[in-house]
Amino acid sequence: MYNHLGGLSSNVQQLGMVVGEALVSMLKMPVEDVKFNYEEDDFVASLRAMLEDELPLSEQESAEDILSDFAVLSVDSTDETIPIQINLRDSDDDEDEDNSETMTDHYQLEEDEQLMRRRKGQSSQLSYIEDCLEQLLCVENDDYDCFEMALLSLEKVLFKERSTPGVGELAGHAAKVLLHLENKFAQQLHDQLRVKCLVGCVISDPLNVAAYLCQEFHSRALTVGMRVEVLRVLCTAAELLSRDANNNTKQKQQHVENSLLKSGALAPEQWVRDGWRAVLQQRIEAKTVRRQKYDYQSADRCRVNRFASIAAGIFDMLIDRRHTVHSTALREPLVLGVFVHTLATLLLAAGHSAQLRSMAKLTITVGWPEHCNHEEPLVRAGLLFAFLAVLSRLPVELLFADLGEQNLRERVDWLERVRTGDLDPNCRQLAELTLNTWNQAILRMADQIFTCN
């Protein structure tokens, strides 16, 4: 109507005026009747006559009938019928639906952006690891700083991003590179950095990387020092996996540094002795009951032992039935002593594993009795260490059932001989500690039998 009133033709303007007057009167608006100023001619008279000719009520069409006429349109060019859906809902419902669709689209876009950002971050982390490995493998790389930075960066990213998808596969490839990585720049800390990176590889993909290291340990390609490094890596990784607390990377890296410093800088005999002190102190703290309003150490005790489920598999791969103490890998006294110590460490880190009993039996039988009087103190200390670890993890009544009373009596007699006549003071100290643990276990078993009776 507004367009008609503003039209250029007088007939169009008159049509708009007549229709406007009729709408105001039909809608019964609370205003006075609208009356436009126009000439009364034949055109206006015909319009008024059309408005006055009303249809009977039975023939009048409702709004639904009128809209139903437009439900199907005919397209002349294609002779196809196109159904048209007409919603008779209020405008408020349409606005609410539009708002809900807008909010849904907004949240969907945010989720898509977060997913894309996460995938981009994961791909960048994987590319970073690949770049570090490329720098380490580059034969033409003569930049010492670049080589050292690649080792340091690889260690940090393996510890920090071990839960990122795809890092486990790269960790297996990195372990193959790091185990045989040459110290071409004669770095003083090259071996220490390399071992730290190998520990990060084991933590990222424990079972596969440990399987590769155990396979290489029994091969003829490794030297004595490399075999000892493999055992150190397995020990440190087992301790970290058994104390996994909410992926605390800083605590893990600090524990790696302390463990490697203890195992690398100190003498082997002192390493065995101090290692047992730490184990005993840990067991004392674990069994100590502190009564207070708030237990500040509950967070340290609520840890997930990720090593327990894979301990038996790694244990079997390392001890391999085809490779006994007479194998090539264990002919060196240093390797044999550290090997027995490693088995005991894995046993302690296994926690409440389902295969703990069989693991304990293998640990206590390796090297016995042919090496119980070995000339190297490290081998004797390793056997003492293994016996003490088994006593700490397994009830003594199960030992009687698995080994027999005669076998255990021979071991106790050997402990007494070492305590009184061994030339090495560390072995004498370990023997005395093991005898005390044995006596306490026997007393506990006797108390249980007396209580049951």
Over the stretch 127-154, which tens digit does the pLDDT of each residue have?
888 888 888 888 777 788 888 888 888 8
Closest CA to 335 of 195, 192, 213, 218: 218
Residue-level pLDDT at 75 = 43
Residue, of 302 and 296, whose pLDDT is higher: 302
Q: Residue 33 has what DSSP assignment? A: P
- Does residue 88 have a pLDDT over 50? no
**Average predicted confidence (pLDDT) for the chain:** 75
- Does residue 232 have a pLDDT over 80? yes
Least confident of 61-70, 194-203, 361-370: 61-70
Q: How confident is residue 120, by pLDDT bands cut at 50, 70 and 90?
A: very low
Q: How confident is residue 63, by pLDDT bands cut at 50, 70 and 90?
A: very low
Least confident of 66-80, 123-137, 413-427: 66-80
Residue, of 237 and 445, whose pLDDT is higher: 237
Q: ω before 369 within 30° of 0 (cis)?
A: yes
Percent over 90 (pLDDT), the chain: 27
Percent over 70 (pLDDT), the chain: 67
Q: How confident is residue 320, by pLDDT bands cut at 50, 70 and 90?
A: confident
pLDDT digits (tens, 9 = 90+) for 23-48: 777 766 666 666 776 777 777 777 77
Residue-level pLDDT at 323 = 53
Q: How confident is residue 435, by pLDDT bands cut at 50, 70 and 90?
A: very high
One-letter identity of residue 26: M
Q: Which of 270-279, 328-337, 345-354 tops mean pLDDT?
A: 345-354
Residue-level pLDDT at 288 = 75
pTM across the whole model: 0.62
CA distance 17 to 432: 118
Q: Residue 212 has what DSSP assignment? A: H
The SS3 assignment for 75 reads strand
Q: How confident is residue 297, by pLDDT bands cut at 50, 70 and 90?
A: very low
Residue, of 146 and 178, whose pLDDT is higher: 178
CA distance 179 to 177: 6
The DSSP bridge partners found for residue 74 are 81
- Does residue 2 have a pLDDT over 90? no
Q: How confident is residue 98, by pLDDT bands cut at 50, 70 and 90?
A: low
Closest CA to 360 of 329, 315, 321: 315
Helices 206-217/224-242 angle, 10° precision: 160
- Does residue 87 have a pLDDT over 50? no
- Does residue 3 have a pLDDT over 70? no
Chain-centroid distance, C-alpha 348: 23
| Beta pairing class for 72-75 and 80-83 | antiparallel
Q: How confident is residue 238, by pLDDT bands cut at 50, 70 and 90?
A: very high
- Does residue 268 have a pLDDT over 90? no
Residue-level pLDDT at 89 = 47
| Alpha-carbon distances of 232 from 175, 224, 325, 345, rounded to whole Å | 14, 12, 19, 10
Residue-level pLDDT at 385 = 93
- Does residue 339 have a pLDDT over 80? yes
- H or E element at residue 424: none
Can you say whether residue 359 is alpha, beta or left, with left for phi > 0 and alpha for psi between -120 and 50 degrees?
alpha
Domain limits of the chain? 1-52, 118-204, 205-288+301-453
Closest CA to 284 of 293, 292, 274, 276: 276
Q: Residue 429 has what DSSP assignment? A: H
Phi, psi (rounded to 5 degrees) for 156 = -65, -45
Q: How confident is residue 4, by pLDDT bands cut at 50, 70 and 90?
A: low
For the residues 335-345, what does the mean pLDDT come to?
A: 92
Closest CA to 372 of 418, 436, 429: 418
- Does residue 354 have a pLDDT over 60? yes
CA distance 384 to 436: 13
Which is it for the CA torsion 439, 443, 448, 450, positive or negative?
positive
